[in-house]
Amino acid sequence: MMDGTNDPKDPEDGPFGRPLFDGPEARALSRVGVVDVGSNSVRLVVFDGAARSPAYFYNEKIMCELGTGMAETGRLNPVGRVRALAAIKRFNLLAEGMNTGPLVIVATAAVREATDGPDFCAEVLRETGLRLWVIDGREEARFSAQGVLLGWPGSYGLVCDLGGSSMELAVIHDGKVGTCMSSPLGPLKLRDLKGGKKARKLLIRATIAAMRAELGEQKNRLFLVGGSWRAIARIDMLRRNYPLRVLHEYRMTAADVRATIRFIEKNDIESLRSQTSLSPARIALVPQAAEVLREVVKTFKPHDIAVSSYGVREGVLYEQMPQRLRDRDPLIEACRFAEYKDARLPGFGQEIYRFILPLFKSAKPERLRLIQAACLLHDVSWRAHPDYRAEVCFDNATRANLGGLKHSERVYLGLALLHRYSNKREGSRFASLERLISQPELLEAEVLGKAMRFAAMLWLKCQAPQGELRWFPKKKVIELHLSAEAAPLFGEVAQARFDSLALTLGASKVIKAPA
CATH fit for domain 138-313, picks 3.30.420.150, 3.20.20.150, 3.30.360.10, 3.40.718.10: 3.30.420.150
Instruction: Give the CA angle between residues 480, 485, 486 to the nearest 5°.
Output: 40
175 compared with 284, residue with greater pLDDT: 284
**What pLDDT sits at residue 352?**
94
The angle formed by the CA atoms of residues 197, 202 and 205, to the nearest 5 degrees, is 115
Asked, colleague to colleague, whether 28-135 and 138-313 share their fold, the answer is yes
**Per-domain residue ranges of the chain:** 28-135, 138-313, 330-463
Is residue 310's pLDDT more than 70? yes
Superfamily of domain 330-463: Hypothetical protein af1432 (1.10.3210.10)
pLDDT of residue 409: 96
Percent of the chain at pLDDT above 70? 93
Average pLDDT score, the chain: 90
Is pLDDT of 404 > 80?
Answer: yes
Give pLDDT tens digits for 337-392: 889 889 999 989 999 999 999 999 999 999 999 999 999 999 999 999 998 899 99
pLDDT-derived band at 461 (thresholds 50, 70, 90) equals low
pLDDT digits (tens, 9 = 90+) for 190-220: 998 899 999 999 999 999 999 999 999 898 9
What are the CA-CA distances from residue 183 to residues 91, 132, 206, 368 (Å)?
29, 22, 11, 41
pLDDT at 396 over 80: yes
Q: Looking at per-residue confidence, does 311 or 322 come out higher?
A: 311
Report whether 29 contacts 46 (CB < 8 A).
Answer: no
pLDDT of residue 18: 44
Question: Looking at the predicted structure, is the pLDDT value of residue 322 above 70?
Answer: yes
* 8-state DSSP, 130: P
* pLDDT tens readout for residues 119-173: 999 999 999 999 999 999 999 999 999 999 998 888 899 999 999 999 999 999 9
**For the packed helices 439-455 and 348-356, what is the interaxial angle rounded to 10 degrees?**
120
Give the distance from CA 378 to its chain's centroid: 21
* Residues 253/305, Cβ–Cβ less than 8 Å: yes
Measured between alpha carbons, how far is 515 from 504 in angstroms, rounded to an integer?
29
- The lowest-confidence range among 184-198, 275-289, 329-343, 459-473 is 459-473
Q: What is the largest CA-CA distance in the chain?
A: 88
363: three-class secondary structure by DSSP: coil
Q: Say which CATH class 28-135 falls into.
A: alpha beta
Residue 18 in 3-state DSSP? Answer: coil
Cα distances from 394 to residues 249, 405, 448, 451, 458, in angstroms, run 18, 15, 14, 16, 23
Q: How confident is the model at residue 15 (pLDDT cuts 50, 70, 90)?
A: very low
- What is the structure's pLDDT at 63? 93
